[in-house]
Structure formats: C-alpha cells, structure tokens
Amino acid sequence: MSVEIKADLLDGRLSLGGERRPAAGGAMSPDLSPSTGEPFAEVAESGEQDVDAAVAAASAAHETGVWRSLPVLERQRILAGIATRLRERTIELARLVARESGMPLSAARFIEIPMAADAFDYFAAAGTLVHGRTLPFSLQGATTRYMTWTQKQPVGVAALITPWNFPLLMPAWKVAACLAAGATAILKPAPETPLVALALADAARDAGLPEGTLSVLPGGDAVGAALVRHPKVAKIALTGSTETGRVVAAEAARSLKRVSLELGGKSPNIVFADANLDDAVSGALFGIFFNSGQVCQAGSRILVQRPLYDRFVEAVVERAGDLIVGDAEDQMTDLGPLVSQAQYGRVAGYVGQAVDSGLRPVLGGAQQREAGGYFFQPTVFRDVAAESVIAQEEIFGPVAAIIPFDRDEEALEIANGTMYGLAAAVWTQDVRRALRLSQQLDAGTIWLNAYQVLTPTAPFGGFKQSGYGRDLGVEGVEAFLETKTVIADLNDQPMQYF
C-alpha cells in the first residue's frame, strides 16, 4: 500500500465550529512519529481564548437549534455521511493513524477506520431509538385526570476528551453519540494524536454538519482543564487513565457537570484446563499484544489453571516470539512502537521493577530501540503473584503477567482482586461455568471464549475505578440527554386545591 498522506490531512490548524484557523495565540507544536521519534507535521496549540470561542460557537448552535431542531432523519443522513467519508479515505487515514500513533498499518486499516465508520452508522440509527415514554399517573382520586410523559432533550455543550491509543475510534464513539443525541461537541484529542481528530472534523463539515456544532481543539492538559471548568459546558465525557478521571470528576463536581468516565483496566483473561488451547493462546496474544498492549481493556493478567499452565506458557512464548516488532507503516508489522518516549519509559520502568523484585521474563523484557523509535519487545512473565505490582497496576504496554490457579473460586478471587473492573474473559468448554462466572466477575464487559470483540450496538464501560457511564449502545446516546417529565391536567374543570 503506497498511498501517501495528502496535505489536507497534515493541516494542523484547529477546527473551530467547522472552520479551520490558527490558534489565537499562534503557538504550534511538533507532531512526532513514534516509529522514528522525528516530527512530521506541526499542530496548533489551543489556549483558553480558543476554548472560549469554541464554547461560544457550540452554545450558540445549541441555543439556535441548528442541529437539535433538524428533523431526526436529516441528522441521521449527516451522521451516515460522515461514515461514508471516513470509508472513502480509509487507506490515507490508516497511514496517518500509523504514523501519528504507532498503531500497525494493518490494524489501522482493517480495525480502527472501519470501526470508527461503523460507530457513525450505528449512532445515525440509534439517535432515532431514544425517546420519551407515556406513563400511568397515580394519585388518589385523580388517576384519569392527568396525563404524564417524559421528553428527552440534548444536554447542551459537551466536552469530549479522548486518548491517543485509538485516535479515530475513541473520538468517533463520543462524537457520534453526542451528535446523535442532538447535543453540540468540543473534542479535545490527546496531544500525541491531534491530526486524526482534525480529519474527523473535516469529514463532519463535508458531510453537512452545521457550523458551530463540532470543534476540535488540539493541546495539552490546560485545554482539557479549561473545558472542564467552563461554565457553559454541561457535560464531560472522558476516556483516559483512572488518575486523570479522578481529577476531572473532582473539578466537574464543583459545578455539578454531568460526567461519564471510561478509565483504566487490569483485565483478567481466565483460561481453564478444559479450554481449547489454540483458541485460548490466540485470544491471549490478541488480548495483550494488540496495539502493543496500549488498550484499556487489554488482557494483561492471564490466569491459567495448573493442569494446562506449562503447556499454555510454552505456546504463548513460542507464538509471541514470532511476532514482528517494527515501523508502524510497514504492512508486515505486528507490534508497532509505543506512542511516546514517556510511555516507553513507563513500560520499561514496570518491567525493571518486576525484574528487581525477583521475577524473570520468559520472553522479552529488554528495551528495544530502533532508529529513534519507541519500540518494546513482547514481554511475558510467568508464575506471577496476584498481589505483585505488575499484576495490580496498569502498565499499558506489551507485558503479560501469567498467574496460576487451581480452583474456580480462586480464579474469581484473583480476577476481582484489583481496583479495576473494565473487562474480563473466560475460556472453557463448560457452559455452566462460563455463565456462572459471567455473573460473578466485576467487569463491564465479559467475553466467553473470545477477547477484544466489540460491537457498537452493545454498551461499553467499567465497574469500580474503571469509571462510570457507558459508551456505545443506546446508553451511549442517553449519556448526552436530559429527561424532562411533563404532567398535564386534562379536565375542563379546575382542580380545587384549597
């Protein structure tokens, strides 16, 4: 695939209400390729003046109703048009994702871009499914006098803060749901991956999204903080680390903003002795090494029942050792680089700490730098204690901790024994066991004999400190709606209250 990235996709100006313009302060930052560590574009650095302008545009669009008052089928056509435009540029966008985030080109082309387009197609339809209800009225002596119903209305201006690991998909989930609800959106992408988000804004503009409805503001933490503080922002939707989620929730609470948080994970991938070995190994490899482990629901804790343990570890090491680590834009690459020097240092630090504690990797563990990029080998630790640091803290890299267990109850205790609750998986041929554990695991998504398979029709989010609220599904639309109750007196004669 030799298609190059066209100049419009390298336009680093911010998108304010659909119009491309420089940042008010004129600041620019380099956009680095994780595969080389070198800049390949420059991107505007938004400031508080830009935040104020974007909020003003979004607020005006909400108040005038240029989006929320459109017939729902017209909104549906525009959202579906965004999906079409993303698909039309799949190859170019995939190369941009690979260059900007380090996601392997094949994953960007066949997973990231198609799933982002699918999200817009789904929410184009889902926006027609969420509506109010008529309700029975219950009051002694007045049951037939009143009629009661609920109405759904968009929350207003929503600030959407997204991470770098899925630089188009995460914005698509939130932008599509927000727009399907009729709300207006300001997207603050991760500073490591701004160009992909700006390309989404261009696709929305070209599909006919009204002016002011969507802005994209590249920048660092100060931009996100300004959005969370802004008095005219009604809703915050964040995908990020648990630490960031705590900060955002605390600040948003000062003005009682609506908040939804999709945060970190330390997801257990449980393999029982009766599991199909080949399937379970494939699921484990995809669960932890897809996108170099930079996935919030990554199956970083692999729990294996003892009768299968040694064979499983041997098979994982053998197959992981064949994975190709290399330039994200090479079609043969299985694992691209980590996204940044900071992330590289984080992963290396956790591996070094594990080695210092006495653990020895049975695969990888060595830092791997090529041509200035942030490459890290697939790394596997065996015989990891459930309470150890690498089994408790989110590493966000290609590091698997394989933990032995004996009994079902032990597996459940280990699986639920962290502060996280984003996802979990069970590999077994025992249907009753699988269904029983699906009820007992403290996680928002449970896979049975599968891993990392998602559909836009099903809600996604976490338990415990993996956050609250849901992306995707009709719940994703409802996150951007308020419910209003209306009670009408149907009787011609006035009620005698006194």
Task: For the chain, report the end-to-end CA distance as a whole number of angstroms.
Answer: 80
Q: Could you give the CA distance from residue 96 to residue 101 in angstroms, rounded to a whole number?
A: 8
Chain centroid to Cα 416, Å, comes to 22
In single-letter form, the type of residue at position 450 comes to A
pTM for the predicted model, two decimal places:
0.96
- CATH 3.40.309.10 matches 268-448: yes
Q: Are strands 184-188 and 28-32 parallel, antiparallel or unpaired?
A: unpaired
- Per-residue pLDDT of the chain (498 residues), as tens digits, is 456 899 999 999 999 999 999 999 999 999 999 999 999 999 999 999 999 999 999 999 999 999 999 999 999 999 999 999 999 999 999 999 999 999 999 999 999 999 999 999 999 999 999 999 999 998 887 778 899 999 999 999 999 999 999 999 999 999 999 999 999 999 999 999 999 999 999 999 999 999 999 999 999 999 999 999 999 999 999 999 999 999 999 999 999 999 999 999 999 999 999 999 999 999 999 999 999 999 999 999 999 999 999 999 999 999 999 999 999 999 999 999 999 999 999 999 999 999 999 999 999 986 655 568 999 999 999 999 999 999 999 999 999 999 999 999 999 999 999 999 999 999 999 999 999 999 999 999 999 999 999 999 999 999 999 999 999 999 999 999 999 999 999 988 887 778
Q: Where are the domains of the chain?
A: 7-263+466-484, 268-448
Catalytic member of 45, 100, 112, 296: 296
Q: Could you give the CA distance from residue 407 to residue 413 in angstroms, rounded to a whole number?
A: 10
- Catalytic residue status for 178: no
Q: How far is CA 123 from CA 77, 326, 457, in A?
A: 11, 35, 9
Catalytic member of 45, 112, 192, 262: 262
Q: What topology does CATH give the domain 7-263+466-484?
A: Aldehyde Dehydrogenase; Chain A, domain 1 (3.40.605)
